[in-house]
Structure 1
Amino acid sequence: MARSTTGRSRFKIQRSLGIEIPGLGKAGALERRPYGPGQHGNKRKKISDFAVRQKEKQKLRYHYGIREGQLVNYVKKAKKDKSQAWMDSLLITLERRLANVIFRLNWAPSMLAANQMVSHQHVLVNGKKISVAGYTIQKGDVITLTERGFASLNYQQAQATPRLPSVPACYTINGKIATAVDLPLPSDIPFEYAGQLVTEFYWKVKP
């Protein structure tokens, strides 16, 4: 599981990236101070090409709550998939992570909360408890929560104030049971990102 992120660091992360990252939960950073961190954050600074590319891949890291090593492994796996552009394969795989699915179903208010629900064995896939946040959801899988999961503060908070306005079309929800009726699309990513810059950042990574 990725390291916990405090409210203050969420504030700083989103300011430095210049965009709200849904997976971090609601921090309201950009609403309060719409410029970069530091006392000179509102002054223009020249940013290197490397820094620009790094910022784009950091969006993925922070949203999905994964470490750099995990992201690199996902990149290597995606580059082995010759059926489509590797960046599309990467995004689809990240969207299929179980923790992300719980977050996208609005059953958790943040990716960290979704990770906790999975690790505490509050999540069932096809009737079996799954405790691995990176478990890959397949088309046709049925996802639900245990009684403790539905009674948890994380679930109650997510239902009261959903972090995202809608659930991706690849999932259907019938009562408290969700089904993956299709694979997610790269366009399901709930924030703006420049895929070409991520591709350029990891161009040296071998499959």
Structure 2
Amino acid sequence: MTKRIQAKYKIDRRMGENIWGRSKSPVNTRDYGPGQHGQRRKGKLSDFGIQLRAKQKLKGYYGNILEKQFLRYYKEAVRRKGDTGENLIGILECRLDAIVYRSKFVPTVFAARQFVNHGHVLVNGKKCNIPSRQIQAGDVVEIREKSTGIPMVIAARDTAERDIPEYIALSGNKATFVRVPTLDEVPYPVVMEPNLVVEFYSR
């Protein structure tokens, strides 16, 4: 099950941004933080605060990944050749639950994690219930035949809130992961700053 231990829209309100681009986000009507002190005037953030916020926003976007796992992704991004920030985005976008979400099989990234956990997804024809599984270029992710009629799946297909990116080729209930995307290719509704995340961890 999901490790989220707080209402997901509190992440939106704490960041002050509609990070998933959803019409239901309370940030659209309440652009201040949650809780009884949310409307207090905000002080200027330090460099550390800016870096921390960038990290929390990126973590929150992918279903509020646990810190231990997110740090592991960062270390893997450092180990790989090339720009560490770009590598980190690539690793996050290769997660199975991220691809299920990008393919519009489900309405939210939190639903994607639960959807995979409950065994509704096949990878290359075999059932997989591990949301964090790293998908490789050329892998095919599909919804099990008996799960295609779930109302949530039908509703997700019809939503106009987001489009399927070019690095995923959709054919019916099957999505082929074409390639690992760059930061510019990922359709984030808000600006993500993986360079600040790298600065945060490299202090």
- The question of a shared fold, defined as TM-score above 0.5 by the shorter chain, is answered with yes
Match of 2:193 in 1: 194
What TM-score does the superposition give when structure 2 sets the normalisation length?
A: 0.88
Q: Is the Cα contact below 8 Å between 1:126 and 1:141 reproduced in 2? A: yes
- Correspondent of 1:11 among 9, 18, 29: 9
The percentage of aligned residue pairs carrying the same residue is 34
What TM-score does the superposition give when structure 1 sets the normalisation length?
A: 0.87
Match of 1:33 in 2: 30
- 2:164 matches 1:167: yes
Q: Shift of the alpha carbon at 1:5?
A: 5.4
Q: Is the Cα contact below 8 Å between 1:117 and 1:149 reproduced in 2? A: no
Distance in 2 between residues matched to 1:145 and 1:28, nearest whole Å: 27
Match of 1:22 in 2: 20
| 1:2-25 CA-partner distances (Å, limit 9, x unpaired) | 42355xx223221111211229x6
Q: What is the letter of the counterpart of residue 175 of structure 1? A: G
Distance in 1 between residues matched to 2:130 and 2:160, nearest whole Å: 23
| 1:12-52 CA-partner distances (Å, limit 9, x unpaired) | 221111211229x6642211112334446262422222221
Q: Shift of the alpha carbon at 1:163?
A: 4.2
Query: Mind listing any 5+ residue stretches in structure 1 that lack a counterpart?
Result: none
Distance in 1 between residues matched to 2:147 and 2:20, nearest whole Å: 21
Q: Shift of the alpha carbon at 1:89?
A: 0.6
| 1:78-106 CA-partner distances (Å, limit 9, x unpaired) | 11002x11111110010010000000011
Match of 1:137 in 2: 135
Comparing 193-202 with 44-53, greater Cα deviation is found at: 44-53
Comparing 192-201 with 115-124, greater Cα deviation is found at: 192-201
Structure 1 residues 152 and 97, CA gap change in structure 2 (3 angstroms): same
Q: Is the Cα contact below 8 Å between 2:97 and 2:112 reproduced in 1? A: yes
For these two proteins, the number of residue pairs brought into alignment is: 199
Structure 1 residues 85 and 68, CA gap change in structure 2 (3 angstroms): same
Q: What is the letter of the counterpart of residue 172 of structure 2? A: G
Q: Stretches of 4+ moved more than 4 A in 1?
A: none
Q: Shift of the alpha carbon at 1:171?
A: 1.0
